[in-house]
Structure 1
Amino acid sequence: MTNEDWKKVDNALKSVFSPGAKLLIDGYEVTLILCQKSQFQNAIAVYINGSFKGKWLVEDCEERRRFFCCKKRTLVKEKDFKACGIRSKKGKKEFADRYAYNEYFSYWTNFSEMKKHFIDNNNSIELYNERS
């Protein structure tokens, strides 16, 4: 996909009332629609082959790896470091990584991050043409 194509996709996701954009990614038909995440925040929802399945977020599968947003979370708070007597930056990182997990979302809040993820995890990306 060219930069011009990515600009078309970005422009198609400027309004909540627009129909969105369709991409053909490695044989998957991926539909991107701008929707309201909360009262003051929008997000880009991802639908694969016209549907969304909740199991994609909890099971390790091809769809989750290719298309969904992953955030690394930790159960450790600053007060936990103090309680355990950990002061060094390296010690804090090792302790936090020990109690970390990945959380997957069916939406993206940043177009640039979504674009980078799609490019890094897929081979062929093109605009979906209804006629083909």
Structure 2
Amino acid sequence: MLIRRLADAPLQGRSISAPGWESNRLLLKSDNAGFSFHITRIVKDAELALHYQHHIEAVYCISGVGEILDIAKNETHEIKPGTLYVLDQHDKHILRAFEELQLACVFNPPLNGREVHNAEGAYELTAEEIA
């Protein structure tokens, strides 16, 4: 059994941030669960162009208000507490936070822990994951 506490993530080196967001990565690839689990904060007024080319992500909104734009379909969907969205087609999207968003995120394949978005808004795979 594995027990982790959100407050301990920064002390354990499991807190990553970049402009517009901070992710507390509670469960990672090294934990051997087959997915990673994160609590992510998107700052108010952030607009993030993202495209997870190598990962499927499920996101549940805990608090805050924003929207997600599905670029391929040119459809915008409101995000508010209780909303779940899944990027199951490696969907290119724009995430906007009208208020600070607190999100629970699951990634498959799991993240290693130190990833940040590349120029295309994706997380890179390791050489081992590519092979």
TM-score normalized by the length of structure 1? 0.30
TM-score normalized by the length of structure 2? 0.31
Please identify which structure carries the higher strand content. Answer: 2
